[in-house]
Amino acid sequence: MTTTLIPAQLSMDKQKLILLDQTLLPEREVYLELDNKEDIFEAIKMLRVRGAPAIGVAAAYGLYVCMKNSKATDFKEFSDEFQITKDYLATSRPTAVNLFWALDRMADRFKKEKGKSIDETNKALLQESEDISTEDKQMATAIGEHGLTLLKKNMGLLTHCNAGGLVASGIGTALAPMYLGHEKGYNFKVYADETRPLLQGSRLTAYELHKAGLDVTVICDNMASLVMKEGKIDAVLVGCDRVAANGDVANKIGTSGVAILAKEYGIPMYVLGPTSTIDLNTATGTDIDIELRDEQEIANGFGRRTAPIGVKAYNPAFDVTDAKYITAIITEKGIVYPPYKKNIRKLFKESVSK
């Protein structure tokens, strides 16, 4: 891939988790070096690192870093500390299932190393966290390739929030087909919803697509209906934080409104994400825990009063799009069409039997 992407936004070096502080974009590119659980928790909670796959990779790397820096003198103490750190990081954000998926993978690996020394266990934890990151990168490319089969040259594409290179080790999910298409001269016209209240669309999606040389236009969230009506949009591509077993999708607040509009205007609505974002233990969207964030993000946006002091604000960070509004779910293992309950199970069964 020759497109200039953002520099590695999430990595590990000398027992530190290194991440690009996304809260400072697009104005400043500042890398943080974190080596303790409190700072790693804060970085996830405050969206310095964000987006479902990246939260998973950061938690896995973070858990390793904490254990590598552990002062435990015997294995029992080390094991107790592992559990406490894992449980603590798991409380940083509730909606994206990738956080729990990655932490559980680290815990399974920890169990497998039973009887080994602290040093050997740490080596295994390092390997597991690196595997999670490498797989994430490979999945992003595969998602992009599957997604691109649904798109044609010169299409107008709408996306909501940010699901690109900033949310993964690779080229992301919803933006992955855009990057691959760009390499092949597809000449997409991308519309990025600005995505209130934290502006992941205008601050992050526009930042990374523009940097990579794609044609991107920022619109306010309330303009999506108009641009669809004007015929500017041929497909909607969004990421996901958790897909329930019936195909209901939790993603950034506002996604469900975009999906309802897309249906009204006859525009395909594609959800793109790795299978690690599909949670077969969550039956439907109503079972998904939706994160409620500080009302100051709305009432005092980016350090400026955007509502009078004393006025209440309601700030759910995600919403659930009913499966009936989703044209297809695109994963690294292939494209899933309705009926989702049956076809999601089929996807998992096929990949296990391969």
Shortest distance, CB of residue 87 to ligand MRU, whole angstroms? 21
> Which of 230, 199, 198, 232 has the alpha carbon at shortest distance from 215?
232
Under rule CB under 6 A, residue 321 binds ligand MRU: no
Question: Site for ligand MRU (CB under 6 A): which residue of 317, 320, 326, 330?
Answer: 317
Under rule CB under 6 A, residue 139 binds ligand MRU: no
Shortest distance, CB of residue 220 to ligand MRU, whole angstroms? 18
Nearest CB to ligand MRU, comparing residues 128 and 193:
193
Spatial CB neighbours of 44, under 8 Å, sequence gap ≥ 6: 50, 55, 58, 59, 62, 89, 92, 93, 99
Shortest distance, CB of residue 290 to ligand MRU, whole angstroms? 11
Spatial CB neighbours of 163, under 8 Å, sequence gap ≥ 6: 51, 172, 173, 174, 175, 205, 238, 239, 272, 273
Under rule CB under 6 A, residue 329 binds ligand MRU: no
Note if 289 is an active site residue: no
Site string for ligand MRU, 53-92 (x = CB under 6 A): x---------------------------------------
H or E element in which residue 217 lies: strand 215-219
Q: Phi/psi of residue 281, each to 5°?
A: -80, -5
- Scan for tokens 């390499």, then name that residue: 183
Under rule CB under 6 A, residue 173 binds ligand MRU: yes
Report how far apart, in Å, the C-alpha atoms of 15 and of each of 9, 67, 116 are: 16, 10, 21
13 half-sphere exposure, CB direction, 13 A CA radius? 9
Shortest distance, CB of residue 200 to ligand MRU, whole angstroms? 5
How far apart are alpha carbons 229 and 349 in whole angstroms? 40
Nearest CB to ligand MRU, comparing residues 241 and 332:
241
> Which of 157, 207, 204, 161 has the alpha carbon at shortest distance from 180?
157
Shortest distance, CB of residue 51 to ligand MRU, whole angstroms? 4
Pull the structure tokens for residue 239.
Answer: 């990421």
Q: Which of 35, 87, 193, 241 is catalytic?
A: 241
Question: Site for ligand MRU (CB under 6 A): which residue of 5, 20, 25, 52?
Answer: 52
Shortest distance, CB of residue 237 to ligand MRU, whole angstroms? 10
Under rule CB under 6 A, residue 161 binds ligand MRU: yes
Site string for ligand MRU, 220-249 (x = CB under 6 A): -------------------xxx--------
Any bridge partners for residue 16, and if so which? Answer: 13
Question: Site for ligand MRU (CB under 6 A): which residue of 47, 59, 143, 228?
Answer: 47
Nearest CB to ligand MRU, comparing residues 50 and 68:
50
Q: How far apart are the first and last CA of the chain?
A: 28
Nearest CB to ligand MRU, comparing residues 167 and 269:
167
Piece of 45-53, 119-127, 222-230, 256-264 that binds ligand MRU (CB under 6 A): 45-53
How far apart are alpha carbons 59 and 100 in whole angstroms? 9
Q: Which of residues 195-214 bind ligand MRU (CB under 6 A)?
A: 200
Piece of 1-9, 146-154, 161-169, 180-188 that binds ligand MRU (CB under 6 A): 161-169
Shortest distance, CB of residue 270 to ligand MRU, whole angstroms? 13
At how many degrees (to 10) do helices 97-112 and 75-90 cross?
170
Pull the structure tokens for residue 326.
Answer: 């989703």
Q: What is the amino acid identity at position 100?
A: F
Catalytic site positions: 241
Which residues of the chain form contacts with ligand MRU (CB under 6 A)? 47, 50-53, 96, 161, 163, 167, 172-173, 200, 239-241, 251-252, 273, 317
